[in-house]
Amino acid sequence: MSILYFLNQPETRSLTVLLLLAVITPILAAYTSLFPPILWLSLTSNYVYLFLYFIFVCFITRLIARGGTYSEINKLNLKGKTYLITGSAGGLGKQTAIQLAKRGARVILFARQSNLQQAIDDVKKQSKSEDNVIGFPLDLSDLSSIKKCVDLYHQSEGKDAQIRALINNAGVMACPYKQTKDGFEMQMGTNHFGHFYLTKLLLPQLRKSKSRVVNVSSTGHALWQVPCTPETYAQQLNEKTYNPMNAYSLSKIANIYFAIELDRRFGLQAYSLHPGAVNTELQRYMGFLTVLRPLTLLIFKTPLEGAQTQLYCALADGVRPGEYFADCKQKAYGNPHAADKDKAKEWWDYSEKMLSEKLK
């Protein structure tokens, strides 16, 4: 199931088409007269035709790679609605903030202190919204930073301020083994436990506002094909046997379980999603992608394209809560265990227990 799941992703389909158009088609044309002989001679002898063919290949590849789009956003007026976004200093988070602010929303950025002011300035400039964009420093790998961020937010906005949606966008991927300040493995600590604690601190407001909670997961959850339990997670904490992608996959399954439980326990409209393979800083620990940069520019999504599904989950009508989405559509899980509601409850209880121990 995992192989078929990955083969059906936009980036995989676009790569397949790229190979077909760039390699197979010219070979077939040369030997089967797919094109008239005169045209084929022109293609092989005239750089203009070769250049036009290259542009055609790139266009078709990019058209497939971009995936689904949420075009209905252009009809929306979001004035008076507030959206909180983690990881909003760049990539998907920043593009999500820009698109929301453009439509009149009040956008609150949660990002690391070192990048926060630049992110605020960029979002204001690109959205042409000077008055509706503010931010607070947040480091999701530090529980004390999360608490301080929420305290600052409450001091500024009030504990009764309406929240239309919390978009848990921030994350880290495939980093070498290290721990958060509180002793969590870095990927689970940032991607799951950090967002879990942040959401819990905001939960009274989220429930009162009947908010949406959007968890950015990943197709990477399909890499882990056995039941995801606290025990299997604990086995990943051994530095000697640590596998960065396994740890990432587990953290993304935890994002899915978190959305399922938020919906079940509190009736919040909670969603998990795969944004697509996107050209962002998230892949900074995956050095081989640097070498393949020209290729990823063609077959990966831009940050704006990647932000479409989280915008869809945050804004669209009739989106079924507690489910998993990609390309602005509800999708099947790539891991059959991701739909296990008993495991989701188990992970919630485990997360509560771990936070309680760390916050003593």
Residues labelled as active-site residues: 248
- Collect all residues with Cβ–Cβ distance below 8 Å to 74 and sequence separation of at least 6: none
Distance CA 9, CA 260 (A): 23
Return the H-helix or E-strand segment holding 85.
strand 82-86
Question: 234: buried, middle or exposed (CB in 10 Å: 19+, 13-18, 0-12)?
Answer: exposed
DSSP annotation of 116 reads H
- Collect all residues with Cβ–Cβ distance below 8 Å to 134 and sequence separation of at least 6: 107, 108, 109, 120, 156
CA proximity to 253, closest of 297, 188, 175: 188
Distance CA 274, CA 255 (A): 11
Task: Determine the 3-state secondary structure of 226 from DSSP.
Answer: coil
Distance CA 190, CA 179 (A): 10
- Collect all residues with Cβ–Cβ distance below 8 Å to 40 and sequence separation of at least 6: 29, 30, 33
